[in-house]
Structure 1
Amino acid sequence: MSEKDPKSTVDASRRRFLAGIAAAGAAGSAGLSACARSEPTTAEQLMAALPNPQDSGIDHIVVVMMENRSYDHFLGWLPGSDGIQAGLKYPDKNGEMQSTYPLAPEYQGCTLEDPGHSYKDGREQYNKGKCDGFLKTVNDASVTFPIGYYTQNDLSFYGGAAPAFTTCDRYFSGILSSTFPNRMYMHTGQTDRNSNGFDISSLPTIWDRCAAKGVSTSYYFNDLPITVLWATKYLGISKPFNDANLGLVGFIADCKNGTLPNVSFIDPNFGLAVGEGYGIAQDDHPFADVRDGQAFLNQVYKAVSTSPNWEKTLLIINYDEWGGFFDHVKPPVGLVSDAEKAVGNLDGRLGFRVPCLLIGPRAKRGHITHFDFEPNSILDLIRWRFGLDPLSVRSDKVNNLAIALDFKNPPNLSAPVFNVAPGPFGQLCVNQLLDTGHLPGVPSLPIPELGKSAPAMTPEVYQSRLDHFADWQNLYDMGVQYGFIR
């Protein structure tokens, strides 16, 4: 079942981000009136009713952050949620109206340019609240990829997990910008960059707050460590997700052994070993096959749900940002830190909605929560549970994700099994122009072994691949430099 939405206006929604957890009031401007509902209780009342954190039954919080998908694009099919897929129309660069459409059986944007999702692109797509510019930021005017969508039958893990557990249909990314600023938001509750920059950060993180109170932590990565953006500061807590060949203890082993830390973040395989531009990745980036992302999430879920720690674990799945894909809900604004003001983020506009699932014995079953959430909501949940100090200007000024959990009933230890094929599925997105020599660990491209074809790319698509490679390559080089990657 689902909650009813707060009766709030968009302005009231903004005030929740600007001035704290407010009483629920009207939801939506005229353009959003169709999704207005009423909560049985306000966020403020739910927060006041939370149990003593030590009695919450949650000792382990696991956060997985995937890449570049919007809510409507990925979960707009979910019954009872504020999602729309079929029937929307958006103007293209020539002024012609184009309709949203199902993407399957195409599961990766192998020959398509990466939809725009920069700070500038996001504001063009937002278009002063019209939220109609998703086809205005493509290079090729004929491209309609940003307004395509996937349905329940296309997404084997979400198709089962979203209806089974709790889904947030108003979870917004932290800033209307690209990957690095939003991944900074997940660790810090703010950002010190508006684009994918590589300057070493001095912002305090949730890892600092945990360390100050003796809360155990781990950051598990596959091929690229985001924590390297703080140089060696978090080298000690950064571990491989799973590397049985090297005998290293990672997330899978910690789940199996019942040794999960109190707080852990997981980043997926971004595909650098073969190259996301080639398609072999599990992060849900448009260059990757979404079925590989589903397989990865199911792997995480199976590890957690079969762990001795399951009874007291909460698994949170979210996305860094919307990736340039359509979403019909106008994102609110939030408080802006001094660090963000210094790099030019003055409007405080949050990013478009992204998928967010809550999974575990304390997650409500078959539930949709309509409260506004963002990365600081997750950080506030962690801070609430473990008694941590404030982290950013939005700390305690947003809805704590804990209000979406079930503390009234005994924990539900059942863990449904979902029919998810392990893959791999992604084809090699290459052509003869692509030089693989600069990629670590890839002396030659293994096309014969995988038996995949190499679809042609336009120059624009090829350039978007190179730009994306450059970002990941720089991060990889930093990982080697600071000892994360050996």
Structure 2
Amino acid sequence: MSLGSRSSRRHHRALQHRAIALVVLASVLVACVFHNGASNGSPGSIPSDLEPGDVVHPSPIPGSTDQTIELARTKIKHIVFVIKENRTFDTLFGRFPGADGVTQGTTCDGKTVPLLRAPDRVGDQLHSFFDGITDINGGKMDCFAQGGYVQYLPQDIPHYWAYARRYTLADRFFSSIYGPTGIEHLWTFASQSDHFIDHERPGQFGSASREFCDDPLETALAFRSMARQEQERIYQAEDEGAQGLAQIRASLTSRWPCFDVKVLPDLLQQRGISWKDYRGENPFVQPLRMVRHVRFSSMYRNVVDVSEFMRDVKARKLPAVSWLTPSFKLSDHPPTSICAGENWFVTEMNGLMRSPYWSSTAVILTWDDFGGFYDHVPPPHVDLYGLGPRVPAIVISPWARSGFIDHDTMEFASVLRFIETIFDLPPLTSRDANTNDMLNAFDFTGRPRPPLLMRPRTCPAR
């Protein structure tokens, strides 16, 4: 090897290291501005809002000019929020070119291990609120269960990768709360959970179906009312990982998971904007059944079976805002087939893309929580509830940037902020008021992207 070639390689490595350092610095800066007053992970830094509260005016978001917002409102007339289950970014897209992903992880005993290839049906991992805190481990991201250190290859989930390549993939999108499934879905409507950290007690695993407002005997875990000083102690305990769990548990109470909070459908109905919650059969995922004024009013007629989504598309009755959630067996929740779940999504998107709605629609696809699977990016600690570990998100629209990786820090409340921005609605809580509005994922000045029609594939045998 010549001296010149060795020198050239050293120069190349130096440039690589410099580029990596700039990416890390940019990530830190983004986390710092993600929530007003939110911690960026530095010791002793405590956010001003430890409970998502009411707001009067939303904060300005850098990059979203009045001109961009007005242009977005002329192009986007329908928004579909698709929520699948229990995967992290590294699990699905850790190998995606240009994204912040890894192929190995760190364990609680300090070892570095490869992320093994995940089978089509992977085992379920623990992913409660407490498991999220344990696995994050104060930002070290090193205490996941052994079965969580797995990853899919591109050929295992080719359609998800195809959507990510054609449209926009977000690689700093986090779940709103540490876990688990049921309560995460509530955040996709309310940008809060009325202090609840779970949809039942003691946890979702192996328990009977839930009825929420229809069963006054049910209870679920929630933070009790606390003064600011105690809230700060709990916030700091969350940064201690497993060592802080006893103190966190002491701050909890059990109460009936039936309550009244303002939800995005309230704002939509007040403005005469149509909406529906298309929901597949899943006893643990019934967020609006927890909200008393929705469950026991005519609003609940808008909670319909997931099969009605495509019927409404074909009948040209698609509402302006839709939540679209598959049945459990098609949700990607372990131990179900991720191939079957991917095929369901392809079928729904093919129908939408073939319809007249495609030209004016934005689809946001994400997964509701980390599912106990490994991810290497520490989430911003913005309040008592999260953020939880990173989950994948794909923005699919004729106006989404093509082949773009969005490095902006986002969460479920960002989708609510996006909906609020498009339809000129006020924020629900300090969470959606102070988060990103997702408009960076769009280009409304260029030519619209064509549909990506794909054929469902044959799934592996059980």
TM-score, L = length of structure 2:
0.73
* CA deviation vs aligned residue, 1:56-89 (integer Å, no higher than 9, x gap): 310000011001100001111111110112x334
What is the rounded CA distance, in whole Å, between the counterparts of 1:293 and 1:124 in structure 2?
Answer: 28
What is the rounded CA distance, in whole Å, between the counterparts of 1:350 and 1:361 in structure 2?
Answer: 30
What is the rounded CA distance, in whole Å, between the counterparts of 1:418 and 1:362 in structure 2?
Answer: 19
Indicate whether 1:308 and 2:374 are aligned. Answer: no
* CA deviation vs aligned residue, 1:116-166 (integer Å, no higher than 9, x gap): 21111111111111110002xxxxxxxx32001101110031121111110
Indicate whether 1:83 and 2:85 are aligned. Answer: no
2:129 pairs with one of 103, 119, 127 = 119
Q: Secondary structure at the match of 1:310?
A: helix
Aligned to 1:385: 422
Aligned to 1:213: 271
Give the CA RMSD over aligned residues: 2.5
1:189 pairs with one of 176, 188, 191 = 191
Aligned to 2:120: 107
2:325 pairs with one of 260, 263, 267 = 267
Q: Secondary structure at the match of 1:350?
A: coil
CA contact (8 A) 1:118 1:178 kept: yes
Q: Secondary structure at the match of 1:318?
A: strand
Aligned to 1:229: 290
Instruction: Quote the sequence identity (%).
Output: 28
Alignment of 1:320-399 (within 5 A): 320-334=368-382, 336=383, 346=384, 348-399=385-436
Report the CA distance shift for 1:398/1:156 in structure 2 as closer, same or farther (over 3 A).
same
Looking at both structures, which has the greater relative contact order when contacts are Cα pairs under 8 Å and sequence separation is at least 6? Answer: 2
Indicate whether 1:238 and 2:309 are aligned. Answer: no
Amino acid at match of 2:167: F
What is the rounded CA distance, in whole Å, between the counterparts of 1:258 and 1:165 in structure 2?
Answer: 25
Amino acid at match of 2:197: N
What is the rounded CA distance, in whole Å, between the counterparts of 1:15 and 1:177 in structure 2?
Answer: 24
Q: Secondary structure at the match of 2:362?
A: strand
CA contact (8 A) 2:141 2:376 kept: yes
The runs of 5 or more residues in structure 2 that have no matched partner are 1-21, 43-59, 201-211, 213-256
How much does 1:324 deviate? 0.8
Report the CA distance shift for 1:58/1:11 in structure 2 as closer, same or farther (over 3 A).
closer
Report the CA distance shift for 1:227/1:107 in structure 2 as closer, same or farther (over 3 A).
same
Q: Secondary structure at the match of 1:61?
A: strand
CA contact (8 A) 1:217 1:263 kept: yes
* CA deviation vs aligned residue, 1:256-293 (integer Å, no higher than 9, x gap): 233211000011111xxxxxxxxxx1111111111111
2:441 pairs with one of 379, 404, 412 = 404
What is the rounded CA distance, in whole Å, between the counterparts of 1:49 and 1:74 in structure 2?
Answer: 35
CA contact (8 A) 2:69 2:422 kept: no
The runs of 5 or more residues in structure 1 that have no matched partner are 21-26, 30-41, 136-143, 243-249, 271-280, 337-345, 428-486
Q: Secondary structure at the match of 1:395?
A: helix
Report the CA distance shift for 1:54/1:332 in structure 2 as closer, same or farther (over 3 A).
closer
Aligned to 2:156: 154
CA contact (8 A) 2:61 2:435 kept: no
Aligned to 1:471: none
CA contact (8 A) 1:314 1:359 kept: yes
What is the rounded CA distance, in whole Å, between the counterparts of 2:185 and 2:461 in structure 1?
Answer: 24
Amino acid at match of 2:364: I
Report the CA distance shift for 1:121/1:54 in structure 2 as closer, same or farther (over 3 A).
closer
* CA deviation vs aligned residue, 1:240-268 (integer Å, no higher than 9, x gap): 121xxxxxxx1111122332110000111
What is the rounded CA distance, in whole Å, between the counterparts of 2:41 and 2:443 in structure 1?
Answer: 27
